[in-house]
Structure 1
Amino acid sequence: MLTCKKSFSNIHGNSTEAINFAYPHAKPTAFGILVAATLLTVCTLPVQAALPAPPSPVSEQSIQNTVWRLQNWTRPDNSIRAVPPEEIPATLEFASENTIIGYTGCNTISGKYSFPQDNLSIQTASMGRRACFTLPDSRFEREYARALGTIAQSRMLAGSPRRLQMILSSGERLEFLPLQHNTVGQANSALRVTQERIRNTKWTLKSWKPANGDMRPLPTGEKALSFNFFDQGRADGYTGCNAMQASYTFADGKLSIQPGVTTLMVCEETSRDPQGNRIRDNSSYILERDYLNALSQIKTADIQIASSTSQQLRLTLDNRDTLEFERSPGWMTEAFN
């Protein structure tokens, strides 16, 4: 590496001084003047910034089991189209067996992906039918699904984090960021429950962990406990024995639920011991009573997002019990269309 120890401002273009600067004991000759001029040129070259890494092609191996959030949608004239906010993002998951699972910010879409001629191709097969009130405009869902089916070129853009870019046949550009650093099934940070995030969602209770750490047994299948959030603070659910109607509100950002039983099924069961004596089992009644009480004693509520279709609602109660619900697919479309 060449080191220049004398300030260039002290060299006024005199070849003798230039030679003395480069080689203090050399005599000025034509060759020496040429060498000195070359050295001066090298010393004064500006330092070039490192060029950004070029985009890399997308392959099946590089994209399988990754989840992405739509960040930018750029039109051919470089104007920006509005996309769903980060709180309710439009997402894209490349699942196993070449399955594509997406979320529009309102409905789920599904389909397949492949790599004909080494270029990403997506075929969307179905989309939910829930009415949407949180999207940038009413056409977004339809045009997002259309865009995914018209990819002309796909590539990974270097950076931290790297970005997935899709260039459509129309010249539009979709740019995605990895969702939670991209490992499907990896534990992700919790999102605070808000009215926008929970409205029009269905949940099934999967675990109930009391403060003492022992898991409480829960019914499954048709008897599973559930809770569903509608518009305008309306809700309903199932207690394992009876249907319920409920309401919910947000005060100072805190979720509050007011549940109530609407059917009058008898929740105790009877059986007989080997001697023929009747045995009453009140466990269903006790579970219903405790479930209704739990829903009215919520201290904190958050949502864990493992992928675009795997979400958990976690309720922590005043008594430190923890209830974890799994989001149910689909929705009762007749109520919203």
Structure 2
Amino acid sequence: MFTKKFSTALALLFGALLSLAACVPAETPNQPPTAEPVAQATATEAVTSTEAVTSTEAVTSTEAVTSTEAVTESTGAMLSVEALKNATYSGIYEEPVMLTDGVYEGGDPAAPYSLHYMDNSTIFGDLDGDGVDDAVVFLQDSGGGTAAFIYVAAQLNQGGEPVDAGAVMVDDRVQFKAAAIENGQVNVEVTTRGPGDADCCASYLTHKTYALQEGKLAETSSGDAEPVRVSAAELDGTSWRLVELGENEPVADDVEITIAFAGDQLSGKGGCNNYNGSFTLDDVNPFAIAIGPLASTRMLCPDPAGGLESAYFDALGQASLWGYDFGNLVISHGSGEGRKLLRFTAQPTEETMAAPTDSLTGVTWQWVGLTDPMQQVTIDSPESYTLTFLDDGSIQIHADCNEATASYTASADGGIEVTPGVTTLALCGPESRSEELIQKLGFAARYFFQDGHLFIDMMADGGTLEFQP
């Protein structure tokens, strides 16, 4: 059971993701009477698709900055997250309420309810045209049931102090792919329910827009186009860096752990070793994810990178759900009280992972390294050890002073099997690795690409061969 001090954002994400997993209808929460909603404006101010900020793009608008930064204008006025966590909010209940350290609790023991500030979600930008950055806050209203109603609330900046400008309910148990303030409007990309969705399980994406009307926040458009169902295409071509292994488990800046998606494949850096694998999303619930066996290089990794890498690989192996978190990616793993969230921030995709079977052929690969549990070896003369994969399923091998052939089969998920064939038997000298290369190819089990290099993993932790084009 989540405690009051548990991160509100994580609590919301756990609730939303667990609801998606269970897909049970919402229970009616205990709630006080709600305020009358502000009338909606016409959709003439609807945000266009080009205005929406995707999860892989940085918010470049000069009006929008992240919630981790203090906002300072020429006047010296600024709004702080601390002030917003202790501000007054209206438009949610009959009367305005004041948060204390991000929380408001009301009702009685038999029918309690609470309002929580959602961490890491606040955005800043000018809402009222005075040239000073205001704030938009996202709040979660819970009343004891499974429902979790999300509100978007505006706080205007008056001399560095937040002034309430109302709130509007977005929906129950939804995820936000992106949010930004642009040209005085609040643009969000958020999940919504579509055909076949239960109350618990919004699996479509839509855009909504909010703006001030007579000094109060109002919804000015809802869904500028038909909602689009979430699919693997949402992840395709994206690249992310891990920032948290779990609640209060940040990843140090000098440890690089990444994940990138291409088609049904994923790859990245585990903090020390490179890795790759495949993943699938459930047909009924596209936020349910299964990550297949991972293949990785086998370098010995000192702590802290080694320990983090081991925990990260274990977490990916237990992954069950993924989701959006205001421009971040989260992956849920574990079960029960041991359930945790991996949290990633978006990063530019510098390399596009090519389809494996298309990349083996048409290139002559030079052997540059060998990594196994006991050693890491750099090959002195890579040009003396080469592989050329042919479309007919054969491999031409140049191994120092010897020439060899082999046959291979490779699958799109990274599996490979190599059968050595005819080999010349010249004596190449005591430092040659001719025989070693040919023998190790016979134990090939998996292959993947990282930063333009080909990696071939051998069976039973036998190590990894690395090749460059």
TM-score, normalised with respect to structure 1: 0.40
Give the number of the structure whose residues are more often strand, by fraction. Answer: 2
Is the helix fraction higher in 1 or 2? Answer: 1
Higher relative contact order (CA 8 A, sep 6+): 1
Say which one has the larger Rg. 1
Taking structure 2 as the reference length, the TM-score comes to 0.30
